[in-house]
Amino acid sequence: MTDKDRTAHTEPAERAENTGRAEPSGPVEHTDTPGTGHQAATLPVRTVEVTGVARISPRMTRVTFGGPDLADLATAGPDQQVKLYFPRPGQRVPQLPATDGDVMSWYGAFLAIPEAERPWARSYTIRAHDRARGTIDIDFVLHDEEAPAAGDTGPATRWARTAAPGDVLGMFGPSAYFATPVPVGTADWMLLAGDETALPAIGTLIEALPEGARALAWIEVADAAEEQRFVTAGEVTVRWLHRGPAPSSPSDCTDSTDGPGHPGAPLLAAVRGAVFPGGSALAWLAGEASTVRALRRHLVEERGFDKRSVHFSGYWRHALTQDDAPTEADLAEARERSEGA
C-alpha cells in the first residue's frame, strides 16, 4: 500500500431492528435484455472455468475463473456486470447457442432452448480482473437456505456452495449492452448504499476512487463477520449496518419497506437519518428492489438530488424469485433506468 492508498474508515455498526429474512431470489436480471439488434463481429459469449475458490466470510465465497476465453477480456471501470450461465442438472457444461449473428438473434436462440435444458442466467459483478494471469474474481453470497436475508437460494447459490476447480460456466460480457458507466470522482462527494448483494460492486467503486475523492457508504449485512476492508486512494467512511437474527416465523416479516422484519429497513433508516455534506453529490444504490426505490425517492424528493445523479438497480425482490414475472414497480424502474431519469 502506497502513501496514496488507505483503508476506508469504518464506523461501528448500528444494531438495528430485526429485519428478518426474505424469500428468494438472486440478483434480478436487469431488464435491459442483452441486445439491441446491432451487429457484432464477435459476441462476448465465453466459457469460463473455476481455478480457485476462497471463503472470504461466513456467507460469501470468492470464485476465481480462468480459461482461454478470458485472454482478451477488457473491462471498463468499476461496477462491471456480466451474465453467468449455470448448467442444468445432468449437464457439466451449460448449453449455449453458437455466437454467430447479432445479439438479438443469439438471445432468441437461447430462449428457444427447451426450458429443462436452458441454463439458468444470473447477473454478477466482476470483483477483480487480473489481466496478467487472465482471471476474474466473482463474489457469491451464500444465502441461508431456510431463511435467506438477501437474495436467492436458487441455482446460483447451490452452485457456489459446491464450486470447485474445473467447474465450467458460460458468461456473456463484459459488454456495452450492459454498461452503465459510473462517473466516479466527478462530484464533490459520492453516496453508496446497498446490502450484501451490492457489496462486490460497492467494493469496486470505493477502490476506484481517485486521491482526494470523498465517499460515504452505508452497507447492510447480517452481522460483523460479513464486514470487509477496502483499500482506496479516496477518503471513504463506511457505515456497517447489522440486520440481526432471523425472525422466528415468516409472519414476523412485514410488507412495509421500512417496517420491522423487512430486508433493507436498517439501510433505509440510516440513510434517511444521515447528515450529508454540502456540495454536488453522486449516488449509487443497489440491493433489494423496493428498498432501492424508497432510497431513490428519498434522495430525489426529500434531499434534492438530481435524478440524473442517482444510479440505482434492484438486484433482487423481497418474497419473489429471480424467475417470477416482473412487477409493475419493476417495469417502472426499468423505464426510468432506460430513460436515464
User: Residue 304: is its pLDDT beyond 80?
Assistant: yes
State the CB neighbour count (10 A cutoff) for residue 212. Answer: 10
161 & 192 share domain: no
Is the residue at 37 inside a domain? no
Do residue 55 and residue 167 come from a single domain? yes
- Asked if residue 153 is part of any domain, the answer here is yes
Cell numbers found for residue 14: 448500528
pLDDT given for residue 25 in this prediction: 30
**68 and 51 assigned to the same domain:** yes
How much is the pTM? 0.80
* Tally of domains in the chain: 2
Task: Look up the domain containing 271 and give its range.
Answer: 6-24+179-339
CATH assignment of the domain containing 91: 2.40.30.10
Domain end residue (candidates: 152, 172, 192): 172
Do 195 and 315 belong together in one domain?
A: yes
Q: Are residues 317 and 271 in the same domain?
A: yes
| pLDDT tens-digit map of 176-194 | 655 667 888 889 999 999 9
Q: Which pLDDT does position 255 carry in this prediction?
A: 47
Q: Could you give the count of Cα atoms lying within 13 Å of 40 in the half-sphere of its Cβ?
A: 20
pLDDT of residue 183: 83
User: Do 264 and 171 touch, CB atoms closer than 8 A?
Assistant: no
pLDDT tens sequence across 248-284: 433 344 445 555 557 899 999 999 999 999 999 999 9
Q: Indicate whether 34 belongs to any domain.
A: no
Domain identity same for 197 and 331: yes
Lowest mean pLDDT among 150-164, 209-223, 248-262, 305-319: 248-262
How far is 281 from 10, CA to CA, in rounded Å?
20
Measured CA angle at 150 (ends 64, 116), to 5 deg: 70
Range in 240-249, 254-263, 309-318 with the lowest mean pLDDT: 254-263
Whether the per-residue pLDDT at 146 is higher than 70: the answer is: no
| Residue-level pLDDT at 84 | 97
pLDDT tier at 100, thresholds 50, 70, 90: confident
Instruction: Name the pLDDT band for 293 (thresholds 50, 70, 90).
Output: very high
**Among 116, 150, 172, residue at a domain's last position:** 172
- Tell me, yes or no, whether 108 and 201 share the same domain: no
Helix or strand run (H / E) with residue 199? helix 199-207
Q: Which pLDDT score, from 0 to 100, does residue 134 have?
A: 96
Cell numbers of 307, please?
Answer: 435524478
Grid coordinates of 3: 502513501
What is the per-residue pLDDT for 178? 57
Q: Which of 143, 172, 201 is a domain's end point?
A: 172
Separation between Cα atoms, residue 227 and residue 160, nearest integer Å: 20
Q: Are residues 263 and 244 in the same domain?
A: yes
Report cis status (omega within 30 of 0) of the bond before 174: yes
Q: What is the pLDDT of residues 6-52, one digit of tens each?
A: 667 766 554 333 222 222 233 333 333 343 333 445 789 999 999 99
Q: Which residues pair with 280 in a beta bridge?
A: none
Considering the domain boundaries, does residue 66 fall inside one? yes
User: Is residue 221 located within the same domain as residue 162?
Assistant: no
DSSP string, 220-276: EESSGGG----EESSEEEEEEEE--SPPSSGGGS-SSTTSTT-TTHHHHHHHHTPPP
Instruction: Looking at the structure, tell me whether residues 306 and 281 fall in a common domain.
Output: yes
Question: What residue has cell string 431470489?
Answer: 25
Contact 219, 202 (CB under 8 A): yes
138 and 188 co-located in one domain: no
